[in-house]
A = this chain, B = another copy of it.
């Protein structure tokens, strides 16, 4: 489902085909937690060039429920979104709730109403088939870092077994199921996990358990060990990664897909992402600043509004500030990926990273 179009060093320019159209990679996937990206809508996402939206199975299975969404035409029909979609398995949220984990699955208490819920690898596939995204993720086992090696190893091995069960549970041919590589920041465990996940026959791979507070060096090593064992003709998705430096490092190691709530979460706190560095719009120095958030930015917010106006909206608590800043930060991140794709096509990826990093340090 993914083809390599060009490369620059280890960085890859590719195209992911889905039933709802193609995704040019490397690509950033905005996170639509509850079938909508916080503070923005589908018109906004189309306008800023989002190619694919990620949604969270954990939230949707509990509210409004997967069956209800299936009855309304799946995520696409429900959310009014016609471009590609991806759902996670729910694992990331569930494992943050201190669940009871057995070989069979994971038991947890709903944060919505306190109900006891039991999720298995098969049920995670079933629910995601009801949600009907173009890409589903297997249920994996997460452990917080740092963790004793035997715990990491056991979680990784169980993730492999759950991956096999997930593959056997599939019933929809129009939905791709990605396996997930685990193993913490242990290179040997990552390599074993990647090799075994690759053998299982998934059409694409998540690299899970990263972007949880580990150092950049540890993450780089874990990604290197993973990528070395993955096939060159399949897509690689680093789950939960979305900051500029992190994404560029992962792309330089051969990764293709990314998602992160930070561009929108930072926006809601007034933080603005730009190519020359980040800043808080709440700072007093912007009170009368007529410039856009970022000179040369082509987003709808920068096209119309000054820093002075956006600061005013933010410090007086106007809701529209959260949306307008989110639009800019998403567009910043999505344009970064477009610039990366162009740099790889021109075989100038390393120069691009050098220039980009110099700018942000200046």
A80 beta carbon closer than 8 Å to chain B: yes
Contact of A320 among B41, B72, B287, B313 (CB under 8 A): B41
Q: For the complex, give the distance between the alpha carbons of A59 and B37 in Å.
A: 31
B63→A316 contact, CB < 8 A: yes
A319→B316 contact, CB < 8 A: no
Most chain B CB atoms below 10 A, which of A40, A64, A71, A309: A309
A35 beta carbon closer than 8 Å to chain B: yes
A118 beta carbon closer than 8 Å to chain B: no
- Size category, A interface: 35 or more
Q: For the complex, give the distance between the alpha carbons of A44 and B133 in Å.
A: 29
A38→B318 contact, CB < 8 A: yes
Q: For the complex, give the distance between the alpha carbons of A243 and B68 in Å.
A: 35
Chain B residues near A288 (CB-CB < 8 A): 68, 71-72
Interface 0/1 of A39-82, CB less than 8 Å to B: 11111000000000000000100011000100110000111100
B36→A78 contact, CB < 8 A: no
A308→B42 contact, CB < 8 A: no
Binds B, one of A150-158, A299-307, A331-339: A299-307
A232 beta carbon closer than 8 Å to chain B: no
Q: For the complex, give the distance between the alpha carbons of A304 and B80 in Å.
A: 6
Q: Determine how many copies of this chain the complex contains.
A: 2
Chain B residues near A304 (CB-CB < 8 A): 41-43, 80
Shortest Cβ distance from A158 into chain B, in angstroms? 31
A250 beta carbon closer than 8 Å to chain B: no
Contact of A319 among B38, B68, B308 (CB under 8 A): B38
Chain B residues near A312 (CB-CB < 8 A): 34-35, 63-64, 78
A36→B313 contact, CB < 8 A: yes
User: Given A63-B316, A319-B319, do A308 and B72 touch, yes or no (CB 8 Å)?
Assistant: yes
Q: For the complex, give the distance between the alpha carbons of A1 and B323 in Å.
A: 37
Shortest Cβ distance from A80 into chain B, in angstroms? 4
B318→A34 contact, CB < 8 A: yes
Q: For the complex, give the distance between the alpha carbons of A34 and B288 in Å.
A: 16
A201 beta carbon closer than 8 Å to chain B: no
Q: For the complex, give the distance between the alpha carbons of A72 and B308 in Å.
A: 9
Q: For the complex, give the distance between the alpha carbons of A308 and B79 in Å.
A: 9
Chain B residues near A35 (CB-CB < 8 A): 309, 312
Shortest Cβ distance from A221 into chain B, in angstroms? 38
Q: Which residue of B lies closest to A82 (CB)?
A: B304
By a beta-carbon cutoff of 8 Å, the part of chain A in contact with chain B is: 34-43, 59, 63-64, 68, 71-72, 77-80, 287-288, 290, 300, 304-306, 308-309, 312-313, 315-316, 318-320, 322-324
Q: A34-B312, A34-B313, A64-B312 are in contact. List 6 more A-B contacts (CB 8 A).
A: A38-B318, A41-B305, A42-B304, A72-B309, A77-B290, A78-B308
